[in-house]
């Protein structure tokens, strides 16, 4: 994430129709096929690693999406850096405590290094691996512009910009706007909860004592309330955010939002604000194509505050600067 401010590089322009995605522009310094000469097998190598991990653990998609999201409020792989004796890194921030997938990125980096030493950044491997996990989980298989370089700075307080799970709609919209992302990006990127998991402690108040009333949140579907009350025997119990297709990247999550079956406050808040509710409804009824729109918003996020050219470095290992 680093300390580079909130400027946003020009976003990849996408031609979207019939669910297909074709890149017709590029972000400054990034382009599809950046490694076509220097490491032409990088994408199949990374996809092979993702496929191997996903075959053992179907929650890999959710893990990588979370890792990508938390790093890409500035996509420079700073989240991957370990703390040192003199510095606490972003990994130490409470919001990043449950982030995982580092082992997959390390495995992919090691395989890439064996073929193309010192060429491919950890930041690009994160972006490619996340795309591959989405595609392998039934979501869009979109082109990823590459050419990112890795940051050398990772400071724990830089993670303070991440939205809170209990943010209201306006707060979430503003947090995304501060990074140059639109309300549509907010809706689509929260749509990554289609494969998400959360702990009961993050929403227990909605089930038993909403706003101090001693009752459940009246905006939540009563059948879902009863189901979750039975399941949430402790704050540590995990539940799927998508109760229909929890391992598939699809629009079912938005169908559930329309039916008042959102579990997290930040998700339900998308229905409260007109600017986001219209987008949720368009995704649910199919007038806005989920695969195309999701791919575009993932690309938009992947272009935030990237390092290119001679800035940053190409790390030899993802957890430490060279």
Dist. CA 266–CA 169, nearest whole Å: 7
SS3 10: coil
- Sign of the Cα torsion 28, 134, 178, 305 reads negative
Dist. CA 263–CA 221, nearest whole Å: 10
- Burial of residue 316, with CB atoms counted within 10 A of its CB: 0-12 exposed, 13-18 middle, 19 or more buried: middle
> Which residues does the annotation mark as catalytic?
70
Structural contact between residues 43 and 128, judged by C-beta atoms closer than 8 angstroms: yes
Dist. CA 269–CA 169, nearest whole Å: 5
CA distances from 1 to 152, 182, 272 (A): 10, 19, 30
DSSP 120: S
């Amino acid at each position: 994430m680093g300390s580079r401010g909130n400027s946003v590089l020009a976003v990849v322009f996408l031609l979207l129709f019939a669910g297909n995605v074709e890149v017709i522009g590029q972000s400054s310094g990034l382009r599809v096929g950046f490694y076509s000469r220097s490491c032409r097998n990088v994408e199949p190598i990374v996809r092979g690693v993702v496929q191997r991990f996903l075959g053992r653990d179907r929650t890999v998609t959710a893990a990588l999406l979370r890792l990508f999201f938390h790093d890409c409020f500035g996509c420079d792989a700073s989240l991957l850096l370990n703390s040192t004796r003199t510095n606490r890194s972003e990994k130490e921030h409470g919001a990043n405590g449950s982030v995982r997938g580092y082992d997959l990125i390390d495995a992919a980096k090691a395989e890439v290094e064996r073929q193309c030493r010192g060429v491919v950044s950890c930041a690009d491997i994160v972006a490619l691996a996340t795309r591959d996990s989405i595609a392998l989980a039934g979501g869009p298989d979109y082109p990823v512009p590459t050419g990112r370089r890795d940051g050398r700075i990772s400071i724990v307080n830089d993670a303070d910009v991440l939205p809170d799970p209990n943010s209201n709609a306006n707060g979430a919209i503003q947090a995304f706007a501060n990074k140059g992302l639109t309300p549509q990006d907010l809706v689509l990127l929260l749509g990554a909860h289609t494969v998400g998991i959360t702990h009961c402690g993050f929403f227990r108040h909605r089930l038993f004592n909403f706003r101090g009333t001693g009752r459940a949140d009246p905006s939540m579907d009563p059948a879902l309330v009863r189901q979750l009350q039975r399941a949430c025997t402790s704050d540590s119990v995990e539940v799927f955010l998508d109760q229909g297709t929890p391992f598939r990247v699809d629009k079912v999550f938005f169908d559930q939002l329309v039916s008042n079956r959102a579990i997290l406050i930040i998700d339900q808040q998308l229905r409260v604000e007109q600017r986001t509710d219209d987008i949720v409804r368009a995704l649910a009824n199919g007038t806005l194509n989920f695969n195309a729109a999701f791919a575009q918003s993932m690309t938009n996020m992947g272009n935030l505050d990237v390092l290119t050219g001679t800035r940053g470095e190409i790390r030899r290992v993802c957890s430490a600067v060279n």
